[in-house]
């Protein structure tokens, strides 16, 4: 292994395989560590449980009750399912407007 060609082959092996593998393992470790120690799901705006009810919500008492029964849907949808219609106050809310814009983007409408 004293030949210059052997050292070159070994160096190329390290550069081509070992370094990318080490980087991939580091990224996987960081992803796992961050997702275990930080509840990033509660900060998503439009998916899963943990919908944020705006502090200035005029129908907050009704929303809290509706969301307790259906934690996996947005607040305005929980109210619609409970009461049969979207309250007028929800139509002006940023949570409702954001959901509508995301729905239009997803469906292409």
Share of the chain above pLDDT 90, in %: 9
Shared-domain flag, residues 63 and 50 = yes
Shared-domain flag, residues 62 and 89 = yes
Closest CA to 46 of 68, 76, 69: 76
Instruction: Output the pLDDT for position 69.
Output: 81
Domain total in the chain = 2
* Residue 32, domain extent: 4-38
Instruction: Output the pLDDT for position 23.
Output: 94
Model confidence band, residue 96 (pLDDT cutoffs 50, 70, 90) = confident
Under 8 Å between Cβ of 82 and 90: no
Q: What's the pTM value of the predicted model, to 2 decimals? A: 0.45
Q: Using one digit for the tens of pLDDT, what is the confidence trace for 3-48? A: 778 889 888 988 899 889 999 999 998 888 776 655 444 444 444 4
């Amino acid at each position: 292994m004293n030949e210059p060609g052997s050292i070159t082959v070994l160096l190329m092996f390290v550069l081509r395989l070992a370094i990318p593998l080490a980087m991939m393992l580091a990224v996987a470790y960081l992803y796992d560590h961050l997702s275990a120690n930080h509840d990033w799901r509660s900060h998503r705006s439009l998916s899963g449980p943990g919908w944020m009810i705006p502090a200035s919500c005029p129908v907050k008492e009704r929303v809290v009750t509706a969301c307790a029964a259906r934690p996996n849907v947005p607040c305005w949808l929980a109210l619609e399912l409970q009461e049969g219609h979207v309250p007028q106050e929800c139509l002006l809310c940023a949570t409702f407007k954001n959901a509508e814009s995301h729905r239009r983007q997803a469906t292409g409408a």
